[in-house]
A and B are shown apart, each in its own frame.
Chain A
Amino acid sequence: MTTQTHTDRREFLRASAMAAATAVATVGMTRSRTHALPIIDGGADPKTEVTWYKAPCRFCGTGCHVQVGVKDGRVVGIAGDLEADVNKGLLCVKGYHVAKILYGSDRLTQPLFRQGDEFVPIPWDQAIDLIAQRINAAPNRFGFYGSGQWTIAEGYAANKFMKAGLGSNLIDGNPRLCMSSAVTGFLSTYGVDEPAGCYDDLDACNVLIIWGNNPAEMHPVLFSRVVDRRARGEEVLIIDISTRRTRTTEQAQHFLQLLPHSDLAIANGIAHLLIRNGTYDKSFVEQYCNFRQLDPERPDNMYGKAMTFDEFATAVAEYTPERVQAISGVPAEKIRLLGDLFGRRDIRITSLWCMGFNQHTRGTAINCLVHGVHLLSGHFGRPGDAPTSLTGQPSACGTVREVGTLCHLLPGGLLIARDEDRRKAEHHWNVPEGRINPKPGYHTVLMFEKFCTPSDQGGDIDTIWVQVTNPGQTLPNLDKLFNRKAQLKNKFLIVSDVYPTATTRMADLILPSALWVEKNGMYGNSERRTQQWSKLVNPPGQARDDCWQIIAVAHRLLELGHEGMKDKDGRFIFETRNDAGVEVPIWQWEHYYDVNVDRRLFEEYRPFTRHKHKDLAPYDEYVKTRGLRWPVVQQSDGTWRETRFRFSGFDDQYVEKGRDFQFYHSVTKDDRALIWFRPYEQPPEMPDGEYPFWLCTGRVLEHWHTGTLTRRVAELQRAMPSAYVEMHPDDAREAGIHRGDMVRVESRRGAIDLPIWIDGRGKPPRGQVFVPFYDETRLINQVTLDAHDPFSKQPDYKKCAVKVYRAPPGASARGAAQ
């Protein structure tokens, strides 16, 4: 390329970038759907020969849409998608770099089989046969561990393979580690999962309360909506309730720094003030709510027993502002501020939360309490009045929660334990009655505990297949739940992934997978929005779709004579026909894309979604849009209409005409939601003389989850090259530790060595430290606690007791435990 040509091209790119930025800035965040830029989907730019397509971003649960520029079979450009309601043309720094995740130099490109300490390439046929033989020999000792990064088709295929095919519920997914307390919170309160509100609430609220969450870094495009409103002169009060200062705090008018685990006291304190001051919404409560508490005679019953309003009032009465201050460290006047705000009818309040609530041994309880505060105050169901949980993965909702790839669920919110639900699923799957096992399988922590226990000592899981996730880094208490596998020679770990990870290190068989736009896919984001994209480029080498891998193993089992791989008419459970009615052998890779398998599986899944009013539109409707929020209901003119505000009469078509609200999946079968009383209790482990610090773990802006993808993006990796410990300067001074020193973080379970960062981006108070979990060379989950919520079974990664001291000379960067 000549210098002049190069200069011309750069000038052209600069001009294009400025035009795009100006257009987005002009139309603004509250623009109408008519705008200046063309909608690009499959459109080629003649000047650059780049063709642009739509796709949701691969990273978090926000569900931004990007425009993907493709040229010569490679992704060469990324732009925010102006047509997408979620992000309206904007992206965060991770989305900005998303294309580069495809092109790391160490992509897995062929099946690899462990032989001693070596991995040996093997053909796909051999890999598929190996898995099928292993499952066929002991199907009830095989577990499947999936992900909120599974596409809907992948999760649906895995779920059907296990529950309808093998008759086994030994399938769980990593949302167990991030979202399951939100699920049990929604189920306990409304009788059905997922938020009633949506992102539109962020455009309408007067007060945004952020509970144990850092959206400025973890969901920046959503947080940007609110910052944008304020910059335009709108008054939006932001209240940050957190254990440490973050970039979110910088934008908040009020920062309420609470002691770990004390959020339950704060929520009960608000409820107490609403009742004591007479400012609760009496009309809303009397029409639409019942009160609930746990039943001491059946403490494991998530649905508890009834209590009266007076009993509720008495129960919360002890949570005076002064007592809440004593428990939480939040000044009493700030508790009164919250009580006063919730007591006002002239404002709208949105609460947001994510892992701070969910990774909590009282996760179900605190989720219920915040729903309860919104219900008690009537701040529910109008635009801007919403209790809304966010998700961390792109399809934790769409795949795991909705498709039901957890050990107790069936698709569409149906339950394994309920006879009638199993009959419905067997009907949809056309399998014989009784095929689905009535006993829920093992949740994640238990599944890996069984896998890491010798077979003759009760360890009744011998084989696990992991897809699209990295439990070797994310499980808590790794030495107990993962690393012990190394000593158990009869245990067999299969891992489908795109790069080497902490999990593949322990694998016996590694399968190379296609990633993001290398395959067809659908995701469901945090606001019930289902999104579709199409395959745009080929995966590298021999990498193949995870969905194909499942179907290929299922068909091999059929060939081996496994009766479960047939439906009750004797047909393969994944039988697929083309438009001419001819069966397509989709278990053969060369024929997999002869038909659209995603469409085929999605259309089979859709009838499930109607049972709990989570209706999805036909596949082709999603091809035309940047997603639709369920329930999506067909109108008399044949069009499909999404729902923004569930249970609200003005928007939700399943609410009976003339009613303002109707909780139509009510636990109490009377169309009412439940307001729960759950007391504050101390956490299972607290700092003491030996382990004097609280440890909190989490994410950083530049890296997503375990860093498997973002650590391959040079710009992101360079910006945040390794994990660190955040510590208060006074604690560091007392310990004689200086910025950059290597320290050892040690708990009762393990220890790792990390550099210390004082006065860094996050600022913990005295007595607390924070460590991000993205760095596979410094695994903080060797230190964390595997205690979990009794209902959701979700572990608490946000608090355990540690000591921190200068690491011995020559300390290994990989950690003291290795």
Chain B
Amino acid sequence: MAISGLILTLSPDNRLRDEAMRCLRLDGRVSIGEQQQHRLPIVVDGATRNDDQEMWQRLHEIPGVLFVDVVCVQENSMAMLCDKEVADGTRDSGLSRSCEGET
């Protein structure tokens, strides 16, 4: 699934910043880069389709993380998301009301 390069903006409060680092180190999906003052580059490697969005939400909720920015996403399966039949125009769109992931 997607591999994301993110930047976390960390709180100037040392206690909160340390707590944020502790939380991140506990998560095996996160690789932590070299902190650049208040900005921390990380990479999130999601193992399942749910991971990236769940991770995004979780990062926002960590005390000491002020903001989450995205730098890049490397999507291994991006091509698979393209339905070949539709792309080739060989399948009727059908005007169905459903869409990918709709519940």
Binding site for B on A (CB under 8 A): 9-10, 13-14, 16-18, 20-22, 24-26, 28, 71-72, 74-80, 89-93, 95-97, 99-100, 102-110, 112, 119, 121, 220-221, 223-224, 227-228, 230-233, 247, 251, 499-500, 504, 510, 512, 540-542, 702, 711-719, 721-722, 777
Contacts and interface: CB of A to CB of B under 8 A. Distances in A.
Contacts of A541: 86-90
A425 to B, nearest CB: 39
Given A24-B7, A74-B82, A90-B71, A718 B50 contact: yes
Given A20-B5, A105-B86, A500 B95 contact: yes
Given A10-B3, A90-B70, A25 B78 contact: no
Nearest to A247: B60
A715 B37 contact: no
B23 to A, nearest CB: 17
Nearest to A79: B72
A10 B33 contact: no
Given A78-B72, A90-B69, A224-B67, A25 B82 contact: no
A590 to B, nearest CB: 15
B40 interface: yes
A80 B70 contact: yes
A100 B2 CA distance: 12
B78 A100 contact: yes
Contact of A231 (B3, B9, B45, B76): B9
B45 A14 contact: yes
Contacts of B101: 711, 713-715, 717-718, 721
Interface string B71-94: 111111011011100111111111
Contacts of A102: 82
B100 interface: yes
24 contacts: A10-B3, A14-B3, A20-B5, A22-B34, A77-B73, A77-B74, A79-B73, A80-B69, A90-B70, A96-B4, A100-B81, A107-B83, A107-B93, A228-B38, A231-B39, A231-B66, A540-B86, A541-B87, A712-B99, A714-B49, A714-B101, A718-B49, A719-B57, A721-B102
Contacts of A99: 75, 78
B14 to A, nearest CB: 13
A103 B7 contact: no
B4 A17 contact: yes
Q: Is the interface of B mostly helix, strand, loop or mixed?
A: mixed
Given A99-B78, A107-B93, A21 B42 contact: yes
A712 B36 CA distance: 36
A463 B69 CA distance: 45
Interface in B7-52: 7, 9-12, 31, 33-34, 36-43, 45, 49-50, 52
Nearest to B34: A22
A93 B67 CA distance: 12
Chain B interface extent, by class: 35 or more
A93 B96 CA distance: 27
Nearest to B90: A541
A649 B43 CA distance: 46
Contacts of A504: 95
B6 to A, nearest CB: 6
A463 B100 CA distance: 33
A78 B73 contact: yes
Given A77-B72, A718-B50, 16 more contacts: A10-B45, A18-B41, A18-B42, A21-B72, A26-B36, A76-B79, A79-B73, A105-B100, A106-B94, A108-B93, A221-B69, A228-B38, A228-B39, A247-B60, A715-B52, A717-B100
A721 B103 contact: yes
Contact of B12 (A18, A79, A112, A231): A231
Given A18-B43, A500-B97, A717-B100, A103 B3 contact: no
A17 B38 contact: no
Nearest to A91: B70
* A-B residue pairs, 4 tightest by C-beta: A541-B89, A17-B5, A21-B41, A714-B101
Contact of B41 (A25, A91, A220, A712): A25
B41 to A, nearest CB: 3
A17 B74 CA distance: 7
B19 to A, nearest CB: 15
A790 to B, nearest CB: 38
Contacts of A251: 66
A13 B57 contact: no
A85 to B, nearest CB: 16
Nearest to A26: B36
Contact of A712 (B54, B56, B92, B100): B100
